[in-house]
Amino acid sequence: MGGLLDGAAMGDMALLPYLESFLELGGAQWIDVYAFHYYGLAKPSEYAPGDMLYDSAVGIVDGMRRILASHGETAAPIWVTEMSTFSGVLGPVEQTEAEQAADLVKRYVLLWTLGVEKALWTYLTEPQYEGTGVGFFDQSGLIYDGIGPADRGAGVEKIGYGAFVHLIDQLAGATLVDSVTENGVTWTRFERGVETITVLWQDPWVRQGALWITPAGQVVVEGLDGAEISRHNSTFQLDLGIEPVYLVGTPCAVSPAAPLLTSP
């Protein structure tokens, strides 16, 4: 099924009411895969308060599954055939490469936990979709095309490109174990062979402050590009901005509260 955007601004073409009408008219006989499009910003903006963020997918997928179940389509797979956010300048809204990269990782990991089978980043190289170099899609690729005030040169890879490659390298063949979101902090555990990989992030518009991580054994903290940040064998403090990190090695407990002091 063609992917649609959800939200009141889409009117009669909004995803959830359209899907409901489509199924009521008997359209399920023609569809093997149900899809949606999934755009938005990497962080809230006062200039676009209604724009979707990465976690908008929770409500979208829940709504799709509810509608599909009411029409006997519980086994139907859900895909995201287009998703992205941009880096650069879009009117009064600015987003850095690092913010785009952080959002990319969050979107893919969240969709995995929601059972979305496939998710496709809309453009690898900036596409000149709007043709101005300052449109949303013009700046949503992961490799520059040489056009626009925020462009660093045709063929130059953005931070998001390296984050995308490392995400694939790190989680290819992995199995989802569990995912927890509490007060703006999300940690999702995967197993790959004998290794546990935890993808951890904190949404700074919900919570700011240190986290305390307690590994079961040794754990390596990696950035989005795979560079080692630190390694630990016992409880340690971790300060996060908007970018997720990978905790690679053993299972880890995550706490927003510092551990109690103990007597020597």
Q: Contact at 8 Å (CB) between 197 and 174?
A: yes
Confidence of residue 3 (pLDDT cuts 50, 70, 90): confident
Q: What is the C-alpha to C-alpha distance for residues 213 and 219, in angstroms, rounded to an integer?
A: 10
pLDDT tens-digit profile of 105-118? 999 999 999 999 99
pLDDT tops 80 at residue 12: no
pLDDT tops 90 at residue 214: yes
Q: What is the pLDDT of residue 117?
A: 93
Q: What is the C-alpha to C-alpha distance for residues 136 and 84, in angstroms, rounded to an integer?
A: 9
pLDDT tops 90 at residue 8: no
SS3 196: strand
pLDDT tops 90 at residue 226: yes
Confidence of residue 50 (pLDDT cuts 50, 70, 90): confident
Q: Contact at 8 Å (CB) between 123 and 137?
A: yes
What integer is the mean pLDDT of 135-142? 96
Q: What is the pLDDT of residue 264?
A: 61
Confidence of residue 138 (pLDDT cuts 50, 70, 90): very high
pTM of the model: 0.94
Confidence of residue 6 (pLDDT cuts 50, 70, 90): confident
What integer is the mean pLDDT of 214-241? 96
Q: What is the C-alpha to C-alpha distance for residues 90 and 148, in angstroms, rounded to an integer?
A: 11
SS3 16: helix
How are beta strands 118-121 and 34-39 bridged, if at all?
Answer: unpaired
Domains identified in the chain and CATH numbers: 8-171 (no CATH), 175-255 (2.60.40.1180)
Q: Contact at 8 Å (CB) between 121 and 164?
A: yes
